[in-house]
Amino acid sequence: MLCPNCSWGNLRKIGRNIYYCKNCFHEVEKKSNIIILFELDGDGTRKKVFTVNIETESEEAI
Ligand SMILES: [Zn+2]
């Protein structure tokens, strides 16, 4: 699976359907038909950046 933000291919699995990109420091959550990209704040809070619909591959800003 590629990072939807930077296309880096070596995401580390950190939870059920959750991956971490060491390259751009984002978390990626995969659901049945969407991928959600989260930005991590300094205090560890996750903030949604955008979602990608896997079927249409269209990006939606949040
Ligand atoms: Zn990345």
Is residue 12 within 8 A of residue 26, CB to CB? The reply is no
Residue 52 has pLDDT above 90, yes or no: yes
Q: What is the per-residue pLDDT across 10-48, written as a single tens digit (0 to 9) for each? A: 999 999 999 999 999 999 999 999 999 999 988 889 999
Interval between CA 42 and ligand 1 midpoint (Å): 17
Residue 62 has pLDDT above 80, yes or no: no
Interval between CA 32 and ligand 1 midpoint (Å): 20
* Averaged pLDDT, 39-58: 90
Q: How far apart are CA 56 and CA 59, in angstroms?
A: 9
DSSP secondary-structure letter at 44? S
CA atoms within 13 A on the CB side of 28: 24
Q: Which residues surround ligand 1, an ion (CB under 5 A)?
A: 3, 5-6, 8, 21, 23-24
Interval between CA 7 and ligand 1 midpoint (Å): 6
Per the model's pLDDT, the better-predicted residue between 60 and 11 turns out to be 11
The DSSP H or E segment spanning 1 is: none
Q: How far apart are CA 24 and CA 31, in angstroms?
A: 21
